[in-house]
Structure 1
Amino acid sequence: MSGATLPLAALPAAAHAVTGAMPLKAEPFPLSAVRLRPSDFAHAVEVNRAYLLRLEPDRLLHNFHAFAGLPTKAKVYGGWESDTIAGHTLGHYLSGLALTHAQIGCTDCAARAAYIIDELAACQAKNGDGYVAGFTRKRKDGTVVDGKEIFPEIMRGDIRSAGFDLNGCWVPLYNWHKMYTGLFDVIDHIGPNPKAMAIMTGLGGYIDRVFAALSDDQVQTVLACEHGGINESFAELHARTGDPRWLKLAERIYHKKVLVPLSEKRDELANIHANTQVPKLIGLARLYEITGEAKHATAARFFWEQVTRHHSYVIGGNADREYFTAADTTAQHITDQTCESCNTYNMLKLTRHLYAWQPDGALFDFYERAHLNHIMAHQEPVNGGFTYMMPLMTGTKRAYSAMEGEEFWCCVGTGMESHAKHGESIFWQGGDTLIVNLYIPADATWAARGAKLGLATGWPFEGEATLSFDALDKPGSFPVALRVPGFAKSTELFVNGKPVTAARAGGYAIVERRWKKGDTLTIRMPLELRMESAPGDAQTVAVLRGPLVLAGDLGRADGEWDQPDPAMVGTDLIAQFRPVAPEKAQFESHGLIRPGDLNFVPFYRQYDRRSAVYFKHFTDAQWQVEEAAFLKEQERQKDMLARSVDVMHLGEMQPERDHQLTSDISYPVSYRGRSGRDARTGGFFEFVMAVKPGPLILQATYWGDEGKRSFDILIDNQRIATQQLDRSRPGSFYDVEYSVPEALTRGKKQVKVRVVPHDGNTAGPVFGMRLFTAATAKTAAPTA
């Protein structure tokens, strides 16, 4: 079993020719040149098109109209669109419309995009200074106003910048990056649009004036707030206009704290927000393409290598609770909060940049892994909702945005884009070389050769794909390179049904000959089962077949999962699998799983099912010990239940209502299958709990990797404890017990428990509290 999450070959450190017959550089076919044949991918595009057309542009434009002083045409959406990040969805929506038009020729999408641009132009004209935005600002007194209010403050040097907040506004520069990307996508995928360019240059002037008022140190303070890939926006604006003003601004938006270490090949990613960083590196990649600045390429390459090899899960996603963990600790972070979908959306974008600089099959080994197993799982394939996280903890169901819901998370926005463009990376060209990188059934037009191409395949369920030249106006001799995934132990190639020997270079099988209309090139590869270990623990394994991650099927998501995690027990694990329906990649285990065998199916198709992806692997002797420990823990839990007086499930709506919870600057959280609640500086949360006579203990549960935090716990306004959190127990939840003075409960039926952070601190999160009677010698629980 491999100890690496992703079977990636080492990439060259600098841009130079790949040995063999692969070209120096490559570019993808235009999205509009590719049409998907029937498949799960084509279905995803159609479901997404229907989702996009259900949305109402005027509701997404509400704040833009209101803040420009124009009449609104529909009420604002809820969720994030009613928070201070309002407006971010509109940029994603423009991209989704443009990409869908390119992918399937959706004229309704093109018309909507044109309407939105007309409205944005009207809003910008009414503002009169280039400004156009939909985000809001929450003042210190709680009043919500136009987000434009923050920029005069920033220009005066009054900068209050934190991870996601800039002077009371949620990630305004990130928000603008989404708008720029949407406008560029309209131009690229629908057609030239002078109004879109005017919006971008006008807004760019406003943003440039803000940054021009700041010192370099003040710029770094601003950049401490998530700003997306706004550096990419201005690099791209420079590339299209030739105006050096935009290049200067793009280069000034350089977050030194994160980007300098990466340019020096230092991995300092642990405990920083993951998706905040990826777009910065995409921006550096674009700057490298424009300027040739080597340090930008170095940072982008090094970041990609570290994330894919040392910070990623088996499905290709990364991060836990949105944050990178220490390198090679994935096995300690298999939770219900893994793999934010935006992260993978952005990692695929970065991969395309790196591949264009220097084609290498290892890059698309990752791309296929993440695209197939994460992005394809990201969409609910009936109504088109999207997940925020892709939970890999056993038994956790996926939470999709509802068809009629108004969540509008960031991952809803990227979902609109991801499922509009499943054809974008199948076919590439480099010089006179035709490259096939993804085996997705499709037809394509190769303009350089006047060719009509067909790609017939049952991949990833069948290990064969056939490329056909259905038309070829310019026949001749040229290479065709088919990617050979790193997992493939062997390959067979056939031209017009006859075996041929192919050259091998850079992860590709390359056939060069004189091609003509009607020719076919077929590749066959075995799709074998294999195990892959999670970084950090060779005994934590996942099952794959070819490019597919397989999952143990635990039943419908609308049921309950309250069983122990299944484990694998044995030595030759693969030998204990049997095919059920190999054409659907379905298998079953025999005598392998404890407590009982499972059916294994493609993970991405488990949208309405509960799954087991990672399994602990034990020998028979090890399992004897593990089973005994589990039974001992069950005994301890039963004893605790018998002694409990009251239990507060923080972060869950009904228990909080039942316990009369009140709070301020406090938020529910969910992590590793547990709900909880925190309180930020100046806030609190308080609730009632039942009591009974006699000595009582209040128990609180915390996660052992929380950063330094300090807070008080009070009962009826009397402090009983001060709690410090400092990453003292990494990788696990733990309980802390506080003795409750009998004087505080005597003669009472209930008390108020209050949690208050110290200044500059967060309280918790607290993952539940329990009041129970002190143990006597007779009832003392066994040691866990």
Structure 2
Amino acid sequence: MFAYALPPSSVRLTAGTFDRRQRRNREYLVSLSERNLVQNHLIEAGIGDQAWHLQPSGSSAIDRGLDRHWGWETPGSLLRGHFLGHWMSAAARETAVTGDVVLRAKLDGVLELLARCQEENGGAWVFATPPSFLRRLAEERDVWAPQYAIHKTFMGLVDVYRDLGEERALQIAHRAAGSIAAWARGFERERFQRILDMETGGMLEVWADLLEATGDDLYRELLELYWHSSLFDALSAGEDALTNMHANTTIPEVLGAARAYEVTGEERWKRVVEQYWEWAVTRRGTFCTGGQTSGEIWTPPFSFAARRGAKTQEHCTVYNMIRLADVLYRWRGDPAHLDYIEANLHNGLLAQQHPETGMVAYFLPLEGGARKQWGTPTEDFWCCHGTLVQAHTRVAPLAIYAADDALTVAQYLPVRAEAMTAGERVCVEVHLRDDASYVGPDANGGPGGELHRPKSLRVRVAVTSADGASARVRLRIPEWTSGEPVVMSTASWRGDGRFLELDHPGGESTVELEFPFALRTVSIPDEPDTVAFAEGPIVLAGLVDREVFLEGDPLEPSTLLAADDERQWTQWLVRYRTTGRDAGVRFIPLNEVTDERYSVYFPVRPTVTR
């Protein structure tokens, strides 16, 4: 392993955009009641009505069930019960990081209800999915991904155990695994392989996690049963097994292969993972946002022109591909994986979460004149609703990685981390000097500063440890940097191309960094005169209700856009406007768009002399 992730309690976001979004996410997690979260598990166990009578309602709305969960969580939905696992996973991580007593109490209530469901079901089955759905799956009758929904309950229980050390959760999961193993053993290998062709979610990942947690050989057997030959064998052979395939059916399977490698050390799992990345990203490319997929499927390699529409960039794929990039960085140490994460954090996680309601946009449309469609707190519960609540509890560990001899600042987010390196405890704090989203009582104070918005990301990194406790700190140079970084440090440093290395002698060291950026165009590979605009990691969106042409040079953004509305109070804003048009178009960061219509890609034609 090149690096490892810090424990949840060792790294935490500090004041800034991502911290605000995480707090918004926490408010939503707390707003949901235990009985509603577990409603479909209770119904499947035959005790739903009893559970609703456990607490007095106190309001006519609750009496009529208007506070219950609907959409994909409606009783009778084929994927009912999936969201609970996401909620448990998110609540466990939030509690592990912050010690949140309210969420911990809700988790305890959920575990008690699940334990009761398992008891009522005979001591094993704990899922909202009826066993008959697995029978229908085996008989190739219509049913919608029962293993996907079952996996979510497993995932939530495992994450509660891993993040909080909660043995009850592990025992519930372990008892439930026996029922799935008994079902899976009942098929010839060829028949079970056809079953695996239907969406299994992250079942493979759960088996690896439970093998690590228990050491039980049952999970080695399940790892073998869930080797998905049609996908894994093709990838192992170096074939493109992805084009026009449903993306988020396969990404969780490959994340499972990654965990299988980490737990067993068997190289065959590792090759599957590395080849998946090769075909999903390296040989396929991405949209300007860093995300992928159109209509939930992988596009053909570098062929995006005909794939822009209302259903580009599914949020689930953004979250799970960030996870895959994180895995590969920890294995390899390649900064390209950190660049990928950065683009998707800003143009995926932020762009697909409403800043006020905290709700998710299932897709990020890239058609002309698009509009984001936001979910609601209790009436949708899409798959992406689930990955959203997980994602915003898991940003901080992506910012700082540890190794035996160094700490790496991987993402420039306001964050504080403590870790052991070379046997010494070291604290790293990252501060951004220009956070344009903050408005407070001091927003009118301070010096006037520069005449125009600075063209660099300005960062301060403070490193502290005991006197004489030296450490090496690596600082990523972002791929979008347009010139040599400016470095002012109290400790010695050096550069090696994609990283700066700080030799911290002990005590306190600081380094002031400026990573210069320039407005740039990002063209569609198979339609090079159609471009998007980006500055640093941020993709811009033009506020317009249709696709419009621009005139200028697609390789020279200064012929197309000019700075606009760049200052308020002491803050610098990312704002541009078109030049040379009778009716101008104004641009803001894609992750600030809420309900406005927008376009990201713009066809460009040469300037016409008038």
TM range, smaller chain = 0.7 to 0.9
Residue 483 (structure 1) aligned to one of 476, 484, 490: 476
CA distance in 2, matches of 1:491, 1:277: 39
2:64 aligned with 1:101: no
**Aligned match of 1:283:** 256
CA distance in 1, matches of 2:134, 2:356: 43
2:592 aligned with 1:618: no
**Aligned match of 1:681:** none
**Aligned match of 2:541:** 551
Residue 352 (structure 1) shift: 1.3
**Aligned match of 1:228:** 201
Paired residue type of 1:509: L
Structure number with higher relative contact order (C-alpha < 8 Å, ≥ 6 residues apart): 2
2:562 aligned with 1:578: yes
2:242 aligned with 1:269: yes
CA distance in 2, matches of 1:491, 1:299: 37
Paired residue type of 2:184: F
TM-superposition CA deviations, 1:313-358 (whole Å, max 9, x none):
1112211111112111112211111000000110011111111112
**Aligned match of 2:374:** 400
Assess if the C-alpha contact under 8 Å between 1:98 and 1:113 holds in 2: yes
- Alignment RMSD: 2.2
Residue 242 (structure 1) shift: 0.9
Partner-residue secondary structure (3-state), 1:532: strand
CA distance in 2, matches of 1:611, 1:597: 13
Residue 81 (structure 1) aligned to one of 73, 76, 92: 73
Residue 194 (structure 1) shift: 1.8
Partner-residue secondary structure (3-state), 2:274: helix
**Aligned match of 2:363:** 389
Given the superposition, is the C-alpha separation of residues 335 and 460 from structure 1 closer, same or farther in structure 2, using an over 3 Å criterion?
farther
CA distance in 1, matches of 2:48, 2:198: 32
Paired residue type of 2:71: G
CA distance in 1, matches of 2:434, 2:242: 35
CA distance in 1, matches of 2:165, 2:90: 17
2:503 aligned with 1:519: no
Residue 517 (structure 1) shift: 2.3
CA distance in 2, matches of 1:575, 1:77: 50
2:107 aligned with 1:133: no
Structure 1 residue runs of 5 or longer lacking an equivalent are 1-23, 136-146, 161-166, 555-560, 625-784
For residues 43-442 of structure 1, the aligned pairs below 5 Å read 43-72=20-49, 73-74=51-52, 77-82=69-74, 83-135=77-129, 147-151=130-134, 159-160=139-140, 167-189=141-163, 191-309=164-282, 310-403=284-377, 405-442=378-415
Given the superposition, is the C-alpha separation of residues 298 and 572 from structure 1 closer, same or farther in structure 2, using an over 3 Å criterion?
closer
Assess if the C-alpha contact under 8 Å between 1:308 and 1:366 holds in 2: no
**Aligned match of 2:550:** 567
Paired residue type of 1:479: R
Partner-residue secondary structure (3-state), 1:280: helix
Assess if the C-alpha contact under 8 Å between 2:16 and 2:435 holds in 1: no
Residue 430 (structure 1) shift: 0.8
CA distance in 1, matches of 2:493, 2:43: 66
Partner-residue secondary structure (3-state), 2:576: strand
Structure 2 residue runs of 5 or longer lacking an equivalent are 53-64, 437-455
Residue 447 (structure 1) shift: 4.4
CA distance in 2, matches of 1:129, 1:169: 25
CA distance in 2, matches of 1:445, 1:474: 16
Residue 312 (structure 1) shift: 2.2
Given the superposition, is the C-alpha separation of residues 153 and 374 from structure 1 closer, same or farther in structure 2, using an over 3 Å criterion?
closer
Assess if the C-alpha contact under 8 Å between 2:547 and 2:599 holds in 1: no
Partner-residue secondary structure (3-state), 1:538: strand
Given the superposition, is the C-alpha separation of residues 116 and 320 from structure 1 closer, same or farther in structure 2, using an over 3 Å criterion?
same
Assess if the C-alpha contact under 8 Å between 1:308 and 1:316 holds in 2: no
2:442 aligned with 1:453: no
TM-superposition CA deviations, 1:113-164 (whole Å, max 9, x none):
12111111111112114111112xxxxxxxxxxx21244566xxx521xxxx
Residue 412 (structure 1) shift: 0.4
Assess if the C-alpha contact under 8 Å between 2:549 and 2:604 holds in 1: no
Paired residue type of 1:476: A
Paired residue type of 2:399: I
Assess if the C-alpha contact under 8 Å between 2:493 and 2:503 holds in 1: no
2:609 aligned with 1:589: no
More strand by share: 1
Assess if the C-alpha contact under 8 Å between 2:474 and 2:502 holds in 1: yes
Paired residue type of 2:404: G
Residue 575 (structure 1) shift: 2.1
Residue 256 (structure 1) shift: 1.6
Greater Cα radius of gyration, structure 1 or 2: 1
CA distance in 1, matches of 2:135, 2:574: 58
Partner-residue secondary structure (3-state), 1:620: coil
Paired residue type of 1:466: R
CA distance in 2, matches of 1:230, 1:460: 40
**Aligned residues between the structures:** 564
TM-superposition CA deviations, 1:458-493 (whole Å, max 9, x none):
468751211112x41364333210001112132122
TM-superposition CA deviations, 1:625-660 (whole Å, max 9, x none):
xxxxxxxxxxxxxxxxxxxxxxxxxxxxxxxxxxxx
Given the superposition, is the C-alpha separation of residues 174 and 71 from structure 1 closer, same or farther in structure 2, using an over 3 Å criterion?
closer
Partner-residue secondary structure (3-state), 2:349: helix
Residue 571 (structure 1) shift: 5.8
CA distance in 2, matches of 1:192, 1:565: 55
CA distance in 2, matches of 1:606, 1:153: 43
Alignment identity in percent?
27
2:585 aligned with 1:598: yes
CA distance in 1, matches of 2:591, 2:135: 47
TM-superposition CA deviations, 1:606-633 (whole Å, max 9, x none):
1222222111122236x99xxxxxxxxx
Assess if the C-alpha contact under 8 Å between 1:550 and 1:600 holds in 2: yes
Partner-residue secondary structure (3-state), 2:475: strand
How does the TM-score come out when normalised to structure 1? 0.69
Residue 360 (structure 1) shift: 1.5
CA distance in 2, matches of 1:602, 1:150: 44
CA distance in 2, matches of 1:233, 1:219: 18
**Aligned match of 2:61:** none
Query: Which 10-residue stretch deviates more, 242-251 or 339-348?
Result: 242-251
Assess if the C-alpha contact under 8 Å between 1:101 and 1:109 holds in 2: yes
Assess if the C-alpha contact under 8 Å between 2:426 and 2:471 holds in 1: no
Paired residue type of 1:467: V
Assess if the C-alpha contact under 8 Å between 2:520 and 2:535 holds in 1: yes
CA distance in 2, matches of 1:254, 1:532: 39
Assess if the C-alpha contact under 8 Å between 1:341 and 1:374 holds in 2: yes
Partner-residue secondary structure (3-state), 1:177: helix
Residue 70 (structure 1) shift: 2.3
Residue 292 (structure 1) shift: 2.5
2:32 aligned with 1:36: no
CA distance in 2, matches of 1:153, 1:435: 49
